[in-house]
């Protein structure tokens, strides 16, 4: 009954685990969850008000499959202002960020094409490539070199079949941020070898200390071969609104628009109106949330490093601590034990690729109080385990 494609693809470890935690919580278990990458803040009120107003005005019908002109315009302007990418509305389509990545891959990858993805990297890149019948080729990154992807590490994995490179900065699950120099090196390589760049920048607003986000698509020589994906989910605490976008050469937008017309049709009108309000209002609420994430990170990382057998680098962006645990369990077993015995839900590092083995991902998009209590539970579990041995 089912296609080979869908049978062979793994479920999303992040979404699956969060479903499981929701189920356990509904059964009354007191679980502290740090699994999903989802801001705990409410969506800023002016955005909610804009959505309500749009609903009252009857903005509940289909729109252009590309998105309403006001939204595409405001996104295009934002790219000029914030990302140094000068574009027009013709370079923009509104769709959920996850679906933008899926569509970029569906629209460019043929059977047998190789696509470079990070290891460890977000759980959906590999399956998205497989669903397009491409072959994911993983570039290994390690804790010891700051989880960075470089032109050299990518070049070592290129072949005559390489069609695209997926970049993710700031990165899920490691929190690493690629600097301009590194991205320039990767752009030179992609230009040289005529490879498409798919740049997932969904965490672009969440960079800390003196780090700055840099968009590879702002480099002139790769403008025509870069697809940039981002959205409102992480920056504006709007995960459930499902509003994101793709920035790409006009021709690519036309191709992706065909997929949109045969699948989603368009984004809901009132949500697009709310997105206009979000982007027009300025970045103050985003920066406020960013500052709070940074404070939480500053509380969390030292606490984690105090636990015997745990080590964690300070992440430069996103809102995940990706820490090494050296207590003799693989990360899947440890995640299960922490969940059922300590009532703390973390995502096992191996879900993000082989280089994530013996690591755990803890999202710090949670209250300070829960973060502190969560680390106590982890620490008590690890200490208790050592005593029992």
Which residues are near ligand PMP by CB under 6 A? Answer: 37, 96-98, 122, 168, 172, 200, 202, 231, 233, 239, 244
Beta bridge mates, 115? 136, 164
Binding track, positions 320-359, relative to ligand GLU; x by CB under 6 A: ----------------------------------------
- Nearest-angstrom CA–CA distance, 356 and 120: 6
Question: Least distance from C-beta 219 to ligand PMP, angstroms?
Answer: 21
Least Cβ distance, residue 125 to ligand PMP (angstroms): 8
* Whole-number Å distance between alpha carbons of 191 and 39: 36
Q: Which of residues 101-160 bind ligand GLU (CB under 6 A)?
A: 122-124
Write the interaction track for ligand GLU spanning residues 155-184; mark x where CB under 6 A is met and - where it is not. -----------------x------------
Among the listed ranges 10-18, 66-74, 254-262, 326-334, the one in contact with ligand GLU (CB under 6 A) is 10-18
Site of tokens 């804009």: 50
Query: How far is CA 65 from each of CA 58, 223, 363, rounded to the nearest angstrom?
Result: 18, 24, 34
Which residue of this chain has its Cβ atom nearest to ligand GLU in the complex?
37
Of 173 and 285, the one with the shorter C-beta distance to ligand PMP is 173
Q: Which is nearer to ligand PMP, 83 or 172 (CB)?
A: 172
Residue with tokens 């569509």: 103
Q: Which is nearer to ligand PMP, 91 or 172 (CB)?
A: 172
In the sheet where 244-247 sits, what is the strand order?
Answer: 92-94, 244-247, 226-231, 196-200, 162-168, 114-119, 135-140
Question: Which residue, among 184, 192, 199, 250, has the nearest Cα to 97 in the 3D structure?
Answer: 199
Residues 73-102 vs ligand GLU: string with x where CB under 6 A?
-------------------------x----
Residue-wise DSSP of 284-317:
HHHHHHHHHHHHHHHHHHHHHHTSTTEE-PPP-B
Q: How far is the CB of 50 from ligand PMP (least distance, A)?
A: 19
DSSP count for the chain of H helices, then E strands: 13, 13
Please, what sign has the CA dihedral across residues 352, 355, 357, 360? negative
Name which of ligand GLU, ligand PMP, none residue 113 binds, using a CB cut-off of 5 to 8 Å depending on partner kind.
none
**Structure tokens that stand for 241 in this block:** 């609104």
Asked whether position 9 contacts ligand GLU by CB under 6 A, the answer is: no
Q: Identify what 255 binds: ligand PMP, ligand GLU, none; CB under 5 to 8 Å per kind.
A: none
Cα–Cα distance measured from residue 142 to residue 128, given in angstroms and rounded to the nearest whole number: 23
Binding track, positions 30-49, relative to ligand GLU; x by CB under 6 A: ------xx------------
Q: Give CA–CA dist 333/339, Å, rounded.
A: 10
Phi then psi for residue 332, to 5 deg, are -65, -50
Toward ligand PMP, which CB reaches closer, 245 or 381?
245
Give the number of other Cβ atoms within 10 Å of residue 3's Cβ.
9
**By the criterion CB under 6 A, which residues form the site for ligand GLU?**
12, 14-15, 36-37, 98, 122-124, 172
């Amino acid at each position: 009954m089912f296609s080979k494609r869908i049978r062979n693809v793994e479920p999303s470890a992040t979404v699956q685990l969060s479903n499981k935690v929701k189920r356990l919580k509904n059964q009354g278990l007191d679980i502290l969850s740090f699994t999903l990458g989802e801001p705990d803040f409410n969506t800023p009120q002016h955005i909610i008000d804009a959505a309500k107003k749009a609903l009252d005005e009857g903005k509940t019908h289909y729109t252009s499959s590309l998105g309403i002109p006001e939204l595409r315009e405001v996104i295009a302007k934002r790219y000029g202002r914030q990302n140094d990418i000068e574009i027009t509305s013709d370079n923009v389509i509104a769709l959920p960020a996850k679906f933008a990545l899926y569509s970029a891959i569906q629209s460019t990858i043929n059977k047998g094409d190789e696509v470079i993805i990070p290891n460890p990297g977000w759980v959906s890149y590999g399956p998205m490539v497989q669903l397009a019948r491409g072959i994911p080729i993983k570039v290994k990154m390690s804790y010891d070199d700051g989880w960075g992807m470089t032109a050299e590490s990518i070049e070592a994995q290129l072949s005559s079949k390489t069609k695209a490179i997926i970049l993710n900065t700031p990165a899920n699950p490691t929190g690493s941020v690629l600097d301009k120099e590194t991205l320039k090196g990767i752009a030179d390589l992609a230009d040289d070898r005529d490879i498409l760049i798919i740049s997932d920048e969904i965490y672009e607003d969440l960079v800390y200390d003196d780090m700055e986000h840099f968009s590879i698509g702002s480099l002139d020589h790769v403008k025509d071969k870069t697809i940039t994906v981002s959205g409102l989910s992480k920056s504006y605490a709007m995960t459930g609104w499902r509003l994101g976008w793709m920035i790409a050469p006009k021709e690519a937008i036309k191709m992706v628009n065909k997929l949109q017309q045969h699948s989603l049709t368009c984004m809901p009108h009132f949500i697009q109106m709310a997105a206009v309000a979000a982007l027009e209002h300025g970045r103050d609420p985003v920066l406020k949330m960013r500052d709070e994430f940074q404070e939480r990170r500053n509380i969390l990382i030292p606490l984690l490093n105090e636990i015997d057998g745990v080590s964690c680098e300070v992440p430069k962006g996103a809102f995940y601590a990706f820490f090494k645990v050296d207590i003799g369990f693989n990360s899947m077993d440890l995640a299960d034990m922490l969940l059922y015995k300590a009532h703390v839900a973390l995502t096992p590092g191996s879900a993000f690729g082989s280089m994530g083995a013996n690591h755990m991902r803890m999202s710090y998009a949670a209250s300070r109080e829960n973060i502190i209590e969560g680390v106590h539970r982890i620490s008590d579990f690890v200490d208790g385990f050592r005593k029992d041995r």
